[in-house]
Amino acid sequence: MPERTVVIASRTGLHARPAKIFVEAAARQGTPVRIRVGDGKPVPAHSILAVLSLGATHGTEVTLDADGPDADAALDSLAQLLARDLDADE
Amino acid sequence: MNEPPEGRAPVTETSGGVTLRGLGVSPGLAAGPVCRMEDSTRLLDGHWAAAEPHVEAGTAVRALEQASRALAELAERAAEPEARAILEAQSFIAADPLLQESVRANALDGMHAPDAITAACAHHREALVTAGGYFAERAADLDDIRNRAIAAARNLPMSAIPDPGHPFVLVADDLSPADTITLDPATVLAVITEKGGPTSHTAILARARGVPAVVACRGARELRDGTRVAVDGALGEVRTGVGEAEAAEVRWRSAEIRARLRASAGPGRTADGHPVKLLLNIGSAADLDTEVSAEGVGLFRTEFLFLDRRSAPEMDEQVAAYEAVFRALPGDRVVVRTLDAGTDKPLPFLGLPEETNPALGVRGLRVVRARPDVLDTQLDAIAAAARATGVRPWVMAPMVTTVAEVADFARRARSRGIVDVGAMVEVPAAALRASRLLAELDFLSIGTNDLSQYTCAVDRQHGELADLLDPWQPALLRLVAECADAGRRAGKPVGVCGEAAADPLLAPVLAGLGVTSLSMSALSVPAVREALAGRTLAECERAARSALEADDPAEARSRAG
């Protein structure tokens, strides 16, 4: 299954506004994407509660995975999002 | 009845009335009938006519959707950006597909809709609590979402704020963010909560709206609907047994005080002209965008530059941020506090190991032991910004304990051309050695929040022990007096920043103890200015002596009045 590993760049971590932006973007993908921290249990990236419960702070390494024909495109766009400081965007 | 001092309600035990005491977190006077907030158990009362599982599932999911929509509508109406962000996040959580899925699964397993909602919220709440830190803070959101969804399922009003059709004093156990935001200052005269602390959501939003508030008020639960009470949001007092004539007088005085505060301006001084500088606590240049007139900045917190960084901010970035503040304050005093972080407020780039008791660990100036480079770069940047702007900033270290520490800090600062060097007194050991510290320094600033925590051995966040964090604790005032005396003998300024400086009743006591400046958020300045202007220095000194002789905060307050 294709995967992308990326470091959370947002200053507040995957919390508050950055978490919301990420979850909304994940929900727009054509394929279900999962996210995990380290060897932890993968959770659906389109659920804000699941994403918050990862407890991913600034600098945490997370891994995204997805299946299907659109997987690579979806993973690339979400990984790019996490690599940006979403607190800085206005 | 004697005329009470300005801004204070009289404390009398007349006509069967009693006085409840809590923490006054939003100053102001109010009088009116109590109306109690319905508590969430109302939602579980009563019969629930259970339907087929798939019907229950539909009801439960629709209820969640209604809660989400209602929260989104509240967010749109919210004036304060913080409030809007909190409500938008809650609305988004209520619409979470996993939450809906758990609710549906619970109902299909045979639970009634309210139980299905309760169980699903409890499950996800647990996961957030396990994630810890600021993720755990969102757990309370799920409680509010649960209550709103169950109310929707039962066709009850989602807001538990009562609507008796006349202005009232709201009494609650605690208030959720959504409830606090929907408070209408035109109908809610004051807020009293049994729980909560000085930094709770209720306190912050009530202050922002100018609604008098008393939190951590023991006995508030016993107040009955319709009881007429007088509330003093500065003293933290709630009095029952108030007659209509007296209530009218309180309302009249409240309006008069509000009008006077709006017109307040000028430097801080006592009635006979003794100066006490009124300064602002700020986190960045943006906080200087206020209508309030003050005499400079007494606490410029520099942490914002360092938060959530993988490496320390570059020199240039720091210089620019300091310059922005210095340029906004030409000719005024500005006191810069160097980075106050450590294991209590962890910053990844500091690379400090976790500690079992961060409040007693490597924090404040102690970080210099591990990372002297961070302090040196910051002092370089402050000195460069001073040169570029021609401003002469005062610079102080947080959380000092010993003379050797401050001597080292002063040497580092002065070698860079910083002239006015000071330290924050937050540790009792530092207060007890104030004279010796001032032999090495030019000024002291007392941080009463931490000094309370260390003097009375109470965690600052401990809601149950909030009374021990009361800045009127005589032991805390004794340490403030120790510092002020040392300052007087040395002819050097000793200021106070922290919640105590913003208490209009405490301000004259602090001035009487010999404190030379008070630093607070802009909102608190007018009331403190008026409180000082109402007393001569001799009266302030008398109040200070009385407060020091008291055995507890309540006695200190009444003696000082």
Tell me: the pLDDT tens digits for B220-258? Answer: 989 999 999 999 998 889 999 899 899 999 988 888 877
Residues of chain B neighbouring A12 (CB-CB closer than 8 A): 134, 308
Q: Which pLDDT does position B148 carry in this prediction?
A: 92
pLDDT computed for residue B120 by the predictor: 96
| Nearest CA-CA distance, residue A80 and chain B, Å | 18
Measured in angstroms, the CA of A78 and the nearest CA of chain B are apart by 19
Instruction: Report the distance separating Cα B363 and Cα B367, nearest Å.
Output: 6
Contact A59 B310 (CB under 8 A): yes
Work out the minimum CA distance from A53 to partner chain B, whole angstroms: 5
Could you please report the per-residue DSSP string of B40-80? GGGGT-S------HHHHHHHHHHHHHHHHHHHHHHHHH--S
CATH architecture of the domain with residue range B264-560: Alpha-Beta Barrel (3.20)
Per-residue pLDDT of chain B (561 residues; tens, 9 = 90+): 333 333 333 334 445 689 998 888 888 899 999 999 877 777 777 678 888 999 999 999 999 999 999 999 888 876 666 677 778 889 999 999 999 999 999 999 999 999 999 999 999 999 988 887 777 777 878 988 999 999 999 988 887 788 888 999 999 988 877 787 778 878 999 999 988 776 566 776 787 677 899 988 989 989 999 999 999 998 889 999 899 899 999 988 888 877 877 788 889 999 999 999 999 988 777 778 766 778 999 999 898 788 656 677 889 989 999 999 999 887 789 999 999 987 677 777 788 887 888 889 999 999 999 999 999 999 999 999 999 999 999 999 999 999 999 999 999 999 999 999 999 999 999 999 999 999 999 999 999 989 999 999 988 767 678 788 888 999 999 999 999 999 999 999 999 997 789 888 899 999 999 999 999 887 788 889 999 999 999 999 999 999 999 999 989 988 887
Contacts of A46 in chain B (CB under 8 A): 97
Determine contact, residues B515/B541, Cβ cutoff 8 Å.
no
State the DSSP code for B233. T
CA A60 to chain centre: 11
Q: Do B98 and A54 touch (CB under 8 A)?
A: no
- Residue linked to tokens 């309540």: B554
Contact B424, B480 (CB under 8 A): no
Do A20 and B128 count as a contact with CB atoms less than 8 A apart?
no
Q: Which sequence positions of B are flagged as catalytic?
A: 201, 497
pLDDT at B231: 96
Nearest in space to B84 (alpha carbons), one of B158, B181, B186, B176: B181
Decide if B93 and A49 are in contact by the 8 Å CB cutoff. Answer: yes
Collect all residues with Cβ–Cβ distance below 8 Å to B191 and sequence separation of at least 6.
B26, B169, B170, B172, B175, B183, B202, B206, B211, B212, B213, B214
Instruction: Tell me the pLDDT of chain A (90 aa) as tens digits.
Output: 899 999 998 877 888 788 999 999 999 998 999 999 988 999 999 999 999 999 998 889 999 999 988 899 999 999 999 998 887 644
A11 in contact with B at a CB cutoff of 8 Å? yes
Whether domain A3-82 has CATH 3.30.1340.10: yes
Straight-line distance from the first to the last Cα atom of chain A, in angstroms, rounded to the nearest whole number? 34
Supply φ then ψ for residue B329, to 5 degrees: -130, 50
Does B89 touch chain A if contact means CB atoms closer than 8 Å? yes
Q: Does A13 touch chain B (CB under 8 A)?
A: yes
The full set of domain ranges for chain B reads 19-35+166-261, 40-153, 264-560
Pairing relation of β-strands B213-215 and B188-193? parallel
CATH no. of B40-153 = 1.10.274.10
The reply to whether residue A58 touches residue B92, judged by beta carbons under 8 angstroms, is no
Residue of chain B whose Cα is closest to the Cα of A7: B310
pLDDT (0 to 100) of residue B141: 83
DSSP helix/strand/coil, B20: strand
Reduced to 3 states (helix: H, G, I; strand: E, B; else coil), residue B198 is coil
Please give the Cα distance from A50 to A54 (Å, whole number): 7
β B168-172/B188-193 pair status:
parallel
Q: CA-to-CA distance for B283 and B300, rounded, in angstroms? A: 6
Task: State the pLDDT at residue B79.
Answer: 64
For chain B, the straight-line distance linking the first and the last C-alpha, in angstroms and rounded, comes to 16
**Inter-chain residue contact A15 with B134, CB threshold 8 Å:** yes
Which CATH number applies to B19-35+166-261?
Answer: 3.50.30.10
Mean pLDDT of chain A: 90
